[in-house]
Structure 1
């Protein structure tokens, strides 16, 4: 079996992401066109909403953070030979656990409050992950 050839840096860092972005815009444009709307106007509105005003990049990064961390969590499980499809739900339930802990903790030291919030977030996320893990085992 022949060894895989490694792509040059310019192809791996620039060409492939550019082609993926172009394909995403093309498929999105076709779907928007099939719905009877103007794809150029829709794409310009999307780009303007993401980068078109002073706070836009901050909002874009704020909302992308959940996807980035969920993707990182899925990649850790995948590297271990598992497939985790519930990462978004685990993150959401972790947020619910964190919120409940903060509301229910009362007057304690900030260090203890943060520690309890993190533990509750991990517990809620793990409880959500336990369901498919139990069913798979």
Structure 2
């Protein structure tokens, strides 16, 4: 696995986490809408209980149950918002990590290019040394030949 694949493997879950966070925020909004509807229902039940004395105890019990449900939905909505915030924070951290991996990948590529350039220069130097060695050998041969002629 190369560094680009690793970065992609981190970016993809980050996108999924962002989508999940968005869905959780939508769920939180829907629970808030439900809470409003329950409040409206509770108000209507209060009105009904004032006009119908013979069923007022049952309506009061029903109203209490609806208010309890409303409180539970409100608590759920708060918890969902808290979860959504944590997921958003996690998504940001994952995106930051992905950016760091991309930066590291770029640095590694730059280093690789520098190593390749250095390798080419070493190869060129080696060729020059070989040429110099050949010239020295030729010169040595010429000196030997010259020395024989003296």
After TM superposition, the score normalised by the length of structure 1 is 0.24
Which structure: larger Rg?
Answer: 2
- Which structure shows the higher helix fraction? 2
Between the two structures, name the one with larger relative contact order (CA 8 Å, sep ≥ 6). Answer: 2
After TM superposition, the score normalised by the length of structure 2 is 0.22
